[in-house]
Amino acid sequence: MAKVLVATVKPFAPAAVGNIKEIVEKAGYEFALLEKYADQSDFIKAVSDADALIIRSDKATREVIEAGKNLKIIIRAGAGYDNIDLEAATEKGIVAMNTPGQNSNAVAELALGMMVYFARNCFNGKAGTELKGKKLGIHAYGNVGRYVANIAKGFGMEIYAFDPYIPKENIEKDGVHSVGSVEELYSKCQYVSLHIPANEETKNSINYELLSKMPKGAVLVNTARKEVVCEKSLMTMFAERDDFGYISDIAPDCMDEIAEKYEGRYFFTPKKMGAQTAEANINAGIAAANQIVNYLEKGDKTFQVNK
Ligand code: 3PG
């Protein structure tokens, strides 16, 4: 009997776990759950007899992958798969997949929620500003970017997007202005919301050269990955521009310095919260379980990310 392990430091909502278990057991597989594990060694131990693995931001390192002697498939229940050692998975003939789109609305709602919170001075009682009429730049127009655009429209924002991989027409049909370069996006928009993945090309790519182009009252919104923002540039921006703010779903490594020097100009969630809703957990969990069953039963490799 194939064994499906759900290993999540940050647990799914209980309903999502129930849904995954039901799908797995209905398919005739064994279900195993490892939540809130204290140490990576617990993960390594648990994966040793699993055929399939469902994770969130948990680190599927080479060590984990090599410990999973029976592993055939790893599903990152979510969008970003920078936490999986794809090379190690490919070497071992393990299929790695994500579940694109399943948690996008949750992340988009958080991005707008943080923007409102920050525009209102973190609800400290002082007069803030409104989002209506402000220019919002969406950096990468994938699933989350599209949801952000749609919600921001409701706020009456003027929306721009840059994505070299998406045809201009696809962006403009959503009532979003497509810009021709990343520099143009940052030059135009007071708010810029990041939706790029973390990879060798994008890490540290949000740098001083881009950020310094932003107009007065610049706010950088990060619900993507902390690694894409160059922290040295961030600190220079804070120092040079007292109108610059940074709001992020996970604190940067330089958080303490920012907190010490730049009160009121930042907001960081204490834990990555973007996908942390019951709905997102259920959507991503069900998709992950179904993708495992479809792969083990029919060899369906839709959403494979290590080709
Ligand atoms: C994603 O890439 O899907 C999000 O960052 C969510 O990550 P999480 O499942 O660890 O909350």
Each residue's pLDDT tens digit in the chain (307 positions)? 999 999 999 999 999 999 999 999 999 999 999 999 999 999 999 999 999 999 999 999 999 999 999 999 999 999 999 999 999 999 999 999 999 999 999 999 999 999 999 999 999 999 999 999 999 999 999 999 999 999 999 999 999 999 999 999 999 999 999 999 999 999 999 999 999 999 999 999 999 999 999 999 999 999 999 999 999 999 999 999 999 999 999 999 999 999 999 999 999 999 999 999 999 999 999 999 999 999 999 999 999 999 8
Q: Please state, in angstroms and rounded to a whole number, the distance separating the CA atoms of residues 302 and 293.
A: 12
3-8/73-76 β-pairing: unpaired
Q: Please state, in angstroms and rounded to a whole number, the distance separating the CA atoms of residues 146 and 157.
A: 14
Q: Which atom of ligand 1 is nearest to the CA of 225?
A: 5
The yes/no answer on whether domain 3-102+277-298 falls in CATH 3.40.50.2300 is no
Q: Please state, in angstroms and rounded to a whole number, the distance separating the CA atoms of residues 69 and 50.
A: 8
Whether the CB-CB separation of 74 and 84 falls below 8 Å is answered with yes
Q: Options 3.30.460.20, 3.40.50.720, 1.10.3720.10, 3.40.50.620; which CATH number does 104-268 get?
A: 3.40.50.720
What interhelical angle do 104-119 and 278-298 show, nearest 10?
160
Best residue for ligand 1 mutational test, from 103, 249, 277, 303 (most atoms within 8 Å of Cβ): 103
Best residue for ligand 1 mutational test, from 10, 36, 56, 250 (most atoms within 8 Å of Cβ): 56
The domain spans of the chain are 3-102+277-298, 104-268
> How far does residue 241's CA lie from ligand 1's centre (Å)?
31
With 0-12 / 13-18 / 19 or more C-beta atoms within 10 angstroms meaning exposed / middle / buried, residue 147 is buried
CA geometry: angle 16, 227, 200, nearest 5 deg = 105
Say yes or no: do domains 3-102+277-298 and 104-268 share a fold: yes
